[in-house]
Structure 1
Amino acid sequence: MSAPVAANSKLFDCRDAYVATLESLAAEDNRIVAVVNDSVGSSKLGGFRTKFPERLINVGIAEQNMVGVGAGLANGGKVAFVAGAACFLTARSLEQVKADVAYSNTNVKLCGISSGVAYGELGPTHHSIEDVAWLRTMGDITVIVPADPWETEQAIRAAAAHEGPMFIRISRMGVPALDRPEGATFTIGKAETLHAGDDAAIIASGTMVCRAVEAAQALAAQGIAARVINMSSISPLDEAAILSAAATGAIVTVEEGCVRGGLGGAVAEVVATHAPCRIKILGFPGFLPTGSAEFLMEHFGLTADNIAASVRELLGR
């Protein structure tokens, strides 16, 4: 793609794309069921419950049971979409995810709702910044972090068609719809180049992709051609795209997650093993204070300005 990809100014809650797609799929496939942890409202599954009351199972505030119930339904031939706040779905039920889903290779689709720092004002217990790092190490769980509503829809459709465990990280924080060429497709394990450039590469996921595009556009105005790669598929990982990015000599990764073990860690593993180059990992350093999502993003440098500054720093400009 030779020209920058701009994002529309309107912001979207990716939960809306998630539930609309799930309802559409459920109307076509009666194997699809939803399992929730007393989070019908925050998971936006009220419409699903109205349309398919017998196919929504609310286990209450019992995340370990929720994952186990989802695994049991999958073993009974259902396609189980297990939804809950990402912080609780992963941290509280990590053993069940490991044993009942990953080790058992069950056809469960874990939907981490309101991921990252979307619940910022509720404090550190509600931040979900370690989820990608935890789950990408577990067996063959496919880990997807969509960047916008279109990609969220495509990821849910891919999840329904995929046989095996998946984790889809679904943001509630408003993001723009990215402009894509007609005929764009989503493929598990494949990255998406949204801005061409050979001076450096920015590899981003989720809510950070639109900010990476904005940073690349600002850098272009300064004579720096930065490639932007949307690495929504964290596991499996598009190593070819990473190696191509490493050929520029400088990579900045940016994610709404911890700097240890997530997208940045995955990219660094590939680079260190196969194609060493300068790399900077942007994200959160660890436990975070209480504050709005925007405050936390600004405070920890997850902004277009800081992404651009990090590229210039690596290039010595």
Structure 2
Amino acid sequence: MLLGSIFMVAPAAHADTALLNVSYDVTRELFKEINPAFIAEWKKTTGETITVNQSHGGSSKQARSVVDGLEASVVTMNQANDIDFLADQGVVAADWAKRFPNNAAPFYSTMVYLVRKGNPKKIAGWDDLIKPGLKVIIPNPKTSGNGRYSYLAAWGSVIKKGGTEAQARDFVSKLFKNVPVLDGGGRGATTTFTQREIGDVLVTFENEVQLVRNEFGDNFEVVYPSSSILAESPVAVVDKVVDKKNIRKQATAYLQFLYSEAGQDIIAKHFLRPRSAIAAKKHAASFKPITLFTVDEVFGGWKNAQKKHFDDGGEFDKIFQSHR
């Protein structure tokens, strides 16, 4: 049942406990499969009937909604920066990244390209995205983790080749000159590209391009640049809410389920790169090898990247203003 951006997976009337997972834009399909699997597992092991409700939107916008009062039991975001923001506001624990394995990121992805059938513009790598007249679809880096990763991947592609900060700035400026519309989140950008048929290339998460291929078949092709950014998807329990509602045990178990072999298998089926070696081996055909660089390596961590590039008056604002 749809309730704005929140959908419910089990009838609340029969549940003892309800959780709300506030997540980012392109994980709808993933959690539609994760949630019933966790609900069944929890019922089997504890006898308790549980409901998991879901909310989706641009990652940073979702984080702000939680600060503004959206009562998330857990958050599953696409960048550490959004959970750090919640920690700074006292909504989640300051040491949230140490509470689950792999810096509390049970899976990861990267940024790749979706192009129209036959790749008519012959797009192969980052340099092709600044060709004059090309239309590139990327969501707004101010509201979307998807957009932020795309921006940082483009900037980092210059630095990793030995380029200077000035050259990276010039490159990203040219790239955003080619962006005709800034959607609020990744799913909106996908709709713009696939259904509104705007743009020559969509830059988005690997899992999103594969879902589009599944849905629209041969109308689109996936292009992998030679290198891209490591996009980890961190998770956290929202302490303030779970303690008030006395659901810490259930919320923690829900996030732990993402690390279980059952959870990791579902994650890999949805084209998100799993942490489990077993799931990674089983689904190896879904994941093309690609050289990945990290936000820490190129930008000195998310806090530095946020401050320099995405805070008001930062690099992105300067670039965007210069195009108006």
TM-score, L = length of structure 1: 0.31
Query: More helix per residue: 1 or 2?
Result: 2
Tell me: higher relative CO, structure 1 or 2? Use CA pairs within 8 A at least 6 residues apart: 2
TM-score, L = length of structure 2: 0.30
